[in-house]
Amino acid sequence: MAAGTMVSRATGLIRTTLQASALGTGLLASSYGIANTVPMSIYTLLVGGALNAVLVPQLVRARAEHADGGRAFEQRLVTLVLTVLAVGTALAVWAAPGIVAVFVPDTPKSHAAFELTVVFARFLLPQVFFYGLFFILGQVLNARSKFGAMMWTPVLNNIVLIAMFGLYMGLLAGPDRVQDITPAQINLLGIATTGGIALQGLALIPFVRAAGFRFRPRFDWRGHGLRKSIVAARWTLLFVLVNVVAMAVVSRFASAADQQLPDAGVGYAAYSYVQNIWNLPQSIVTVSLVTALLPRMSRAVTEGRLDDLRDDLSRALRVSGFLIVPAAFFFVALGPQTAQLLFGHGAVDATTVAPAGHMLQALGLGLIPFSGQYLLLRGFYAFEDTRTPFWMAVVVSAVNIALAAVCHLFLPTRWAVTGMAAAYALAYGVGMLATALLLRRRLAGRLDGRRLCRAYGKLTVTAAVAGALGWLVARACSGVAVPAGWTPVTALAAGGGTMALVYLGLARLLNIAEARSLPGLR
C-alpha cells in the first residue's frame, strides 16, 4: 500500500510541477484549479463522505453477519451509489454557473475569469461519477482486505495529466491572461483531465472481479439494511458540507487576492499547489495506515475489544508521527527552497514563486495536528459514530473561517493567503485537541495519553533541532556559486540531508521506540 501510494504521489508531484510550469501561479491557473476542485467537492457532498467514513464498517459487518457473505448488500449499495452519482453529475453539469459562483465571485472586474472557470467546470464535472466509481469499487476491495489496487490506479490518472501538460507546453503557446486562452487549449485541458479520472475508476473493475465481486444492478433498496447506512451518512454529509463551506470561503478570499495581483502568484493557484506538497506525507503515511486499520478497528468494536482499538490508534499515531513530525519541520525550515525547486519553472519565475514558499512554511507545523485528527476521527467511525466528527468539523471550520476573514481584511494582499495558510494549520490544532478529549471519553477515559505525549515530545524536540541545523546549512549553501537553477537543488540536498542525518541520529540517541517500527531502521 505504501509503495503504491508513494509511486502515486511521486507521479502526482511531477504532474503538479508540470501544471505550475504550464499554467503559472496567477489568475489563469486559479481558474483551472478551482474548476478542478469542484468535482471532488460535489462528489464528496453526494456520497463521498459516507463512502469513506460509514460504508466500510457497514460492508465489513455485512460480510460477517449476512448468510451470503454480504454480496447482495454490496450489489444494492453499489447500485444506489452509482444511481445517485449519475443523477448528481447530470444536475451538476447543468448547474455549473451557480456552483462556480460559490467559489469565485462574478463581478465586472472578474467576469472573464468567472466565465473561463464555468467553461472548465462543464468539462470537469463528469469526474463526479468517475470519482464515485473509483471509491465505491475501492471500498469493496478494502472490505475484502485488498488494498493495493486502490493505491496504484491513481498513477494512471497522473500519467495522463503529465502527458497532457507536457503536450500543452510543447505544442501550444501558453497564454498569459485568461482572455487569451484558446478553445483548443481549453479542450485539451478539459477532456484529458476528466479522461484521467475516468481511466482511474474503470481500471479497478478487473480487480474487483478478481476479488470475487460480481455487479448485478439491484434496486430493491427498502428493507435490507441500507437505511442504517443512509441515517449514519446524514451526519457525514453535514461534516462534508461544513468543510466545503470553509473551502468556498477561503477560495473566494484567495480569488480576491488573484484579482488584485493577477500575476504575483499570491492567490488560489499557489495555495493549491502548496497544499498538494504539504499533503504528501499525510497521503503516503497516514492514509495508508488508516486504510489498513479501519476494517480492523471496526471488527474490534463489533467484538467489544476496546483495548485493541485503543492500541491500534496509539500505535498508528506514534508510528505515523515518526515521519509526520520531521516532515512538518522540513516544510518550515526549507519551504522556500522546496517551492522554488518544484514550481520555479516555465511560466513561474523567482519573484512569483516566493509567496508559495512562504505559504508552505505557514502550513508546515499544521501537518502534525492535521494527521493526528485524521487518525483520531477514525476511532469514532469505527463506532459508526458520524455525529461527533461533524461537530469537530464545525469547530475546525469556524476557527478557519474566522481567522481567514481576519487575514483577508487586515493583511496586505501579498500576505493575505499566506496568513490563511497559517490559519488553516492553527484551526486543525484546535480541532485535534477537541477530538482527542472526546475520543478519550468514548474509550473509557483512556487514550494512552502519557505514552503519546512522551513520544511526540521526543519527536518534536528531535525534529526541531534537526530542522534548525538543516536551515542553517541550506542558508549557508545559498551563497555558494553554482550554475543557474541549481541553487535550490544544492540548498535542499544539503539542508535536507543534514536534517535526515541529525534526526535519525538523535532518534537513536534518545531511544525513540517508533524508529524500530520502520523498515531499515531497526
Question: What's the pLDDT tens digit per position in 96-112?
Answer: 999 999 998 877 777 88
Grid cell for residue 74:
454490496
Residue 225 pLDDT class (50, 70, 90 cuts): low
- 150 pLDDT above the threshold of 50: yes
Residue 133 pLDDT class (50, 70, 90 cuts): very high
- 203 pLDDT above the threshold of 80: yes
Indicate the DSSP class of residue 267.
Answer: S
Rg (CA), the chain: 23
- 193 pLDDT above the threshold of 90: yes
Q: How many residues does the chain have?
A: 522
* Least confident segment among 74-78, 127-131, 370-374, 457-461: 74-78
Sign of CA dihedral 105, 111, 117, 120: positive
pLDDT in tens, 479-496: 676 666 677 888 899 999
The 10 Å Cβ neighbour count of residue 350 is 10
Which comes out higher in pLDDT, residue 81 or 39? 39
What pLDDT is recorded for position 170?
A: 77
Which comes out higher in pLDDT, residue 207 or 49? 207
Mean pLDDT of all residues in the chain? 86
What pLDDT is recorded for position 337?
A: 93
Residue 522 pLDDT class (50, 70, 90 cuts): very low
Give helix 27-43 / helix 268-278 axis angle, nearest 10°.
60
What pLDDT is recorded for position 293?
A: 72
- 343 pLDDT above the threshold of 80: yes
What pLDDT is recorded for position 400?
A: 96
Whole-model pTM: value is: 0.85
- 43 pLDDT above the threshold of 50: yes
Determine the Cα–Cα distance for residues 31 and 269; give it in Å rounded to an integer.
Answer: 8
What pLDDT is recorded for position 521?
A: 43
Residue 240 pLDDT class (50, 70, 90 cuts): confident
- 49 pLDDT above the threshold of 70: no
What pLDDT is recorded for position 229?
A: 60
* Least confident segment among 2-6, 43-47, 243-247, 398-402: 2-6
Determine the Cα–Cα distance for residues 330 and 352; give it in Å rounded to an integer.
Answer: 22
* Percentage of the residues of the chain whose pLDDT score is greater than 90: 44
Determine the Cα–Cα distance for residues 298 and 14; give it in Å rounded to an integer.
Answer: 36
- 312 pLDDT above the threshold of 90: no
- 415 pLDDT above the threshold of 90: yes
Grid cell for residue 458:
521526543
What pLDDT is recorded for position 53?
A: 53
* Percentage of the residues of the chain whose pLDDT score is greater than 70: 88
Residues in contact with 457: Cβ distance below 8 Å, sequence separation at least 6, in sequence order: none
Give the Å distances, CA to CA, from 113 to 19, 134, 249, 250, 393.
18, 31, 18, 17, 31
What pLDDT is recorded for position 520?
A: 43
pLDDT in tens, 284-309: 777 767 766 767 777 777 777 878 88
Residue 324 pLDDT class (50, 70, 90 cuts): very high
The 10 Å Cβ neighbour count of residue 238 is 18
Determine the Cα–Cα distance for residues 128 and 121; give it in Å rounded to an integer.
Answer: 11
pLDDT in tens, 155-188: 999 999 999 998 888 765 556 677 778 888 899 9
Mean pLDDT within 72-99: 88
Identify the CA nearest to 258 among candidates 8, 488, 31, 94.
Answer: 31
Give the 3-state secondary structure of residue 512.
coil
Mean pLDDT within 39-60: 71
- 52 pLDDT above the threshold of 60: no
Which comes out higher in pLDDT, residue 340 or 45? 340
What pLDDT is recorded for position 56?
A: 62
- 224 pLDDT above the threshold of 60: no
Please calculate the CA angle 88-91-94 and round it to the nearest 5 degrees.
Answer: 150
